Amino acid sequence: MTLHINEAEVRATLTMSMALEAVEEISRKQSTGEVVVHPRRRFELPGGGFFHYMAAADYAGGHIAMKQYTYSRGKVRFLVPLYAMQTGELLAMIEADYMGQLRTGAATGVATKYLARQDARIAAVIGSGGQARTQLEAIAAVRKLDAVRVYGRNQERREKFASEMSARLHLEIAPVATSAEAVRGADIVVTATTTSQPVVFGADLAHGVHINAIGANHANKRELDEEAVASADVIVVDSIEQSRQEAGDLIIAFKGDEACWTGVKRLSEVVAGKVPGRSSDSELTLFKSNGIASWDLAVATKVYALAKERGLGRTLPFWNGEG
């Protein structure tokens, strides 16, 4: 029988610490070839909407997952079907908005763990939506932060973000009036916006900063200017194949120069120790995240196991109840 797990049940089961562990573990598997990822594909829909889909298979763990989601009229709907590899059974249909926010935040947390300076204490968050919240939560889980500065275009939203996240994480979080004010002097910068134009500029970046750029995933959109990308001593991505298709931050900055891609590293190989990440405190490191299906697979298997254990969800009688 297939288990339907809704958003509320995902929120009741999945924590950031679980997501961090799951993403780090599956990254190691990905580096060995035990996990295979199919990059995101899109259909453009009438009226400016999109249908997106991506998939991953964990041959060691025995599960396959696909994430599929629509964007239409300003609303996004996420769904992750989870399959048993050995039997082909559809184990679960998981509503995946919050799960996606948590796994994306967790990936930033893993990247920050391996790429940011050990003494990083000041963080800048550009963006004040739901994704920015899980980004900061993950960063705070892997580095002992002393202060955070947040900038978002809407003053009321950034002030609310600062107030609520300060109480939640017990951190000093200050809303600021510009992205430059947030970024200057920061040890860790995260961009979680919907902009198509740069919000972080190389001229404002401190030596030794680590950047997590997670908002733009279209070839013609970017959050970082060319100087910011050119300043990076180490560039790490989740998937080089997917980045070549949709990492506008890199595509625009590289200007079609294939040589620029030769030095780009995969997060999975950094996590597994197969390639070096940061080698000195003075280096500027950049993690360009587009989001890959292995992360969805990793957290989906956790959510499914916990839902079964706790008696959550409801069964859906597909194929006459034969699985």
pLDDT in tens, 264-317: 999 999 999 999 999 999 999 999 999 999 999 999 999 999 999 999 999 998
Q: How confident is the model at residue 323 (pLDDT cuts 50, 70, 90)?
A: very low
CA dihedral 269, 272, 274, 279 (to 10 degrees): 90
Q: What angle do CA 135, 191, 205 make, to 5 degrees?
A: 120
Q: What percent of the chain has pLDDT over 90?
A: 95
Higher pLDDT, 228 or 73: 228
pLDDT of residue 218: 87
Q: Looking at residues 73-78, what average pLDDT do you find? A: 91
Both tokens of 235, joined, read 């560039």
Q: Which fold has domain 2-100+294-321?
A: ornithine cyclodeaminase, domain 1 (3.30.1780)
**Domain map of the chain by residue range?**
2-100+294-321, 117-291
> What pLDDT is stored for residue 314 in this prediction?
97
| CA 256 to mean position of chain CA atoms | 25
Please report, rounded to a whole number, the percentage of residues in the chain having pLDDT higher than 70.
99
3-state DSSP assignment of residue 322: coil
Residue type, 31: S
Mean of pLDDT values over 201-222? 95
- Going from the C-alpha of 77 to that of each of 71, 100, 319, the distances in angstroms are 7, 11, 25
Does pTM top 0.85 for this prediction? yes
Mean pLDDT of 56-69: 97
pLDDT at residue 47, rounded to an integer: 86
Sheet of strand 210-213, all strands in order from the earlier edge strand to the far edge: 172-175, 147-151, 122-126, 188-191, 210-213, 285-288, 234-237, 265-266
pLDDT at 216 over 90: no
Q: Which fold has domain 117-291?
A: Rossmann fold (3.40.50)
Tokens of 92: 């679960």
| Angle between helix 293-310 and helix 97-115 axes, rounded to 10 deg | 120
Q: Examine the pLDDT at 41 and tell me if it is beyond 50.
A: yes
| Cα–chain center distance at 21 | 14
Question: What strands lie across the sheet with 75-84, from one edge to the other?
Answer: 35-45, 49-58, 63-72, 75-84, 90-95, 2-5, 314-316
